[in-house]
Homo-oligomer: A and B are copies of this chain.
Amino acid sequence: METITVKELAEHVGGQVVGDETIEITGAATLSEAGTGEVSFLANSRYEKEVKDSRASAVVIGKDDFTDPDSANDRTFIRCQDPYYAFMQIVVLLHGHREHKKTGISPRAGVAASARIGPEVDIHDFVCISENAEIGENTCIYPNCTIGPGSKIGKDCIIYPNVTVYDGCTIGDRVTIHSGCVIGQDGFGYATHDGVHHKIPQIGGVTIEDDVEMGANCAIDRGTLGDTVIGRGTKMSDLIAIGHNTRIGPNCLLVAQVGIAGSVQVGQYCIFGGQVGVVGHIKIGDNVKIGAQAGVINDVPEGQSIVGSPAQPITQAKRSLMLLKDLPELRKKLREMEKILRSMIKES
């Protein structure tokens, strides 16, 4: 870890210093955990109070944070257009990404003679590379992974321990797959006839495009016919299940425990909250936002935000919720009217 001044940090991220630009920074931390010599950040103005309580030596803030000069409280800020992005750049500068030691191919790995291994590839202990598999330049495969027959992994990938890639799958460049993921197991396809569930051969594969990152213990079914696809730049968290022949577009974000059934088409830049479920054979447009635990059972047009199970547009859901809140009031009014009505009837 190097030492760097607030001024240098601000220049690195294209921000402006408010306060003492000569302060030396050695690390980055959250507002509550930062101490002297550490820089922190404010990504959401509702945490402004935490900035005041923080012992951070400098805080990266946005254009509209702490605009009242009195509120600054003698603090040193780095003011940026996009404070979260700036903070990311600072963390990379100060701490860097995880380094992957060059180890070459372990003699304790099992590499098939027919496998094609690119230059600068690292294959750790107890990794199994099957026949005709291909591993691209500078890719690192950690211990206890299995890469199936004929599967192809691109350049600069990181495959963490205990990952399984089945046969006939294609993984692009700069893909990161965290531990315990399974890519290309047979999808859930049976033809039930006379009370027996007959297995339908799953002869498709999986394509993971460039720059995808996948969290721990995800499960991506291979296609029945044709591939299941995870689009370029899409990022997935942990324990996610993707069904056969589903195609997820580029640059989507999927939070943990999302489950998407088979043959779903998802556009680009969609965001799936945690534990969202999606039924099979539907189409989700670009830029769709799906709230946590939602259950999506119909096509979703481009740009829509949906919540609930079954999922509905967020505006509609709020209206339903409001109506429910009105219920006690409604009942009360009804009783009053009933009373009046009864007394009128008696009088007449």
Contacts and interface: CB of A to CB of B under 8 A. Distances in A.
Interface of A: 28-30, 33, 82, 84-85, 87-88, 91-92, 95-98, 106, 108, 110, 124-126, 128, 142-146, 160-164, 166-167, 176, 178-180, 182, 185-186, 188, 190-193, 195-201, 203, 213, 215-219, 221, 224-226, 233, 235, 237-239, 241, 243, 245, 251, 253, 255-257, 259, 261, 263, 269, 274-275, 277, 279, 292-293, 295, 297, 309, 320, 323-324, 326-328, 330-331, 333-334, 337-338, 340-341, 344-345, 348
B108 A110 contact: yes
Given A91-B203, A146-B143, A185-B179, A241 B237 contact: yes
B245 A30 contact: yes
Contacts of A197: 233, 235, 251, 253
A225 B338 contact: no
9 contacts: A88-B198, A91-B201, A142-B146, A144-B164, A180-B217, A190-B253, A277-B293, A330-B330, A337-B341
A309 B293 contact: yes
User: Assembly of this chain: how many copies?
Assistant: 3
Contact of A216 (B219, B245, B251): B219
Contacts of A340: 341, 345
A321 to B, nearest CB: 9
A193 B128 contact: no
Chain A contact residues, majority secondary structure:
loop
Contacts of A191: 82, 84-85, 87-88
A251 to B, nearest CB: 6
Given A182-B216, A330-B334, 14 more contacts: A28-B225, A97-B199, A124-B128, A128-B144, A160-B166, A186-B213, A188-B215, A188-B235, A188-B253, A190-B253, A217-B239, A241-B274, A330-B331, A334-B337
Contacts of A330: 330-331, 334
A125 B95 CA distance: 35
Contacts of A195: 251, 269
A219 B257 CA distance: 10
Contacts of A331: 323, 326, 330
